Amino acid sequence: MAIQKLTGFDPDKDLNLVEEEFWADEVTEKASSHVDLSPGQLVWKYKTSGPIVGGMCYVVDPNGNRRLYFGTTERKLIALDVEEDLSDVHLVWEESVAGEVIAAPLFKDHVIYVTTKNGWIFALDSGLYGKKTTPGKAINETPKVLWEKKLMKGINTQPALSSNMLLVTSWDDHLYAFEAFYNNPESYQIGKELWSYRAEGINSSPNLYEGTVYIGDDEGNVHAVNYGGKSAESFWQVPVGAGVWSKPWVDDTHVFVTTLGSQIVCIDPSQGKVAWKFRLGSKSYANPIAMPIEGGRTACVAGADDGILYAVVQSGGSVQPVWKVRTKGKIRAEAILYRGKILVGSGDNNFYCIEASSGTILWRFSTDGNIFGKAAVVGDKVIFGSTDGFVYCVQL
């Protein structure tokens, strides 16, 4: 069956990709190791083989190997070796995959999981099992496909991992669970479909919390899905008025989503009822996050296509903004709360560091492309990709 294009978000049309020839290379620019960097200054940048739309996956394995995994819209999956102090990176491998990578890979137990826009799921042995490598020195670290699946339609969401399960949502209206981990690499169970759950149009990344999977759908519903063994069923289904492409943020008392109907919605997970809604200036594809504020309350932080990053909280009988930060481009990246700061990229080609308590912009870092993927924070550095084809490491 041919892959059907959606009428909503499409990276080819909606991300303003920079038109240029891309190539892979070593670090093209880095700061002197003898200079103390100020917040917002470049540590290094690395040129890749194409635009980067998804987020970064930074891991430190049990042997102390530091790797940065990410994909490009030029159908490449890339692994970089990272120095312990993050002062430099080196290419480990760059592998072609059978589709555009528009979501961040996952890594667990030396296995890399990656999905593609045209519906492929790959589980790759990273080649690191039992190895301790030396940064900057070539090793035999070639990824090997453990299992692969081709779904009927595409995937533009990031999977989730639960114990031995890989959870994947697809344009074919299903949430799938596959056998993810293994004891015997030759086992026929590897990659086996365990169960599936149907909803009308799923472009929301799954979030697993306390044994329940949360997703949104294009029909304007948020689902809480319980599963066991070979089956899954709805625990509750809450209508929110418009399509949900965001990954739900979940804790014991809140489920936050953004909608294509220009709202942030908070659901009470214990009752499966809408607790409150807040009107945004435009539709939102961005994953929301939670931010604790004074009085023991929890605010929701999310961006929208109007270029504004919103922090909102329920106060008494109404929902009020804590602050708003205006940028000049669509905000589709998931923000990060880190040590009193909010970190997020924008379609105006800038990466922002914002004071979480006040909404004051502390610094911004400019690139030549949109920044729509979630960053990775490592110590006092933040790493993110851009559609200009570079990975950037910036001092916090």
Q: Which domains does the chain have, with CATH numbers?
A: 49-198 (2.130.10.10), 338-395 (2.40.10.480)
Average pLDDT, the chain: 89
Which residue type sits at 137? Answer: K
Return the residue matching tokens 């697993």.
208
Sorted by sequence, the CB contacts under 8 Å of residue 337 that are 6+ apart come out as 289, 290, 291, 301, 356
Whether the model pTM is above 0.85: yes
Q: Could you give the percent of the chain with pLDDT greater than 90?
A: 78
Return the residue matching tokens 């080819």.
12
Please tell me the least confidently modeled range out of 29-33, 83-87, 157-161, 337-341. 29-33
Return the residue matching tokens 């880095």.
30
Residue 44 · residue 81 · CB < 8 Å:
no
- For the segment 306-314, the average pLDDT, to the nearest whole number, is 98
Residue 286's pLDDT band (cuts 50, 70, 90): very high
- For the segment 53-80, the average pLDDT, to the nearest whole number, is 94
- For the segment 370-380, the average pLDDT, to the nearest whole number, is 97
Q: In the 8-state DSSP scheme, what is residue 11?
A: H
In this model, does residue 89 exceed pLDDT 60?
yes
pLDDT of residue 94: 94
pLDDT of residue 31: 63
In this model, does residue 220 exceed pLDDT 80?
yes
Q: What is the DSSP string of 140-198?
A: ----EEEEEEE-SS---S--EEETTEEEEEETTTEEEEEE---SSTT-TTTT-EEEEEE
Give the residue ranges of DSSP H helices in the chain.
Answer: 11-14
In this model, does residue 5 exceed pLDDT 70?
no
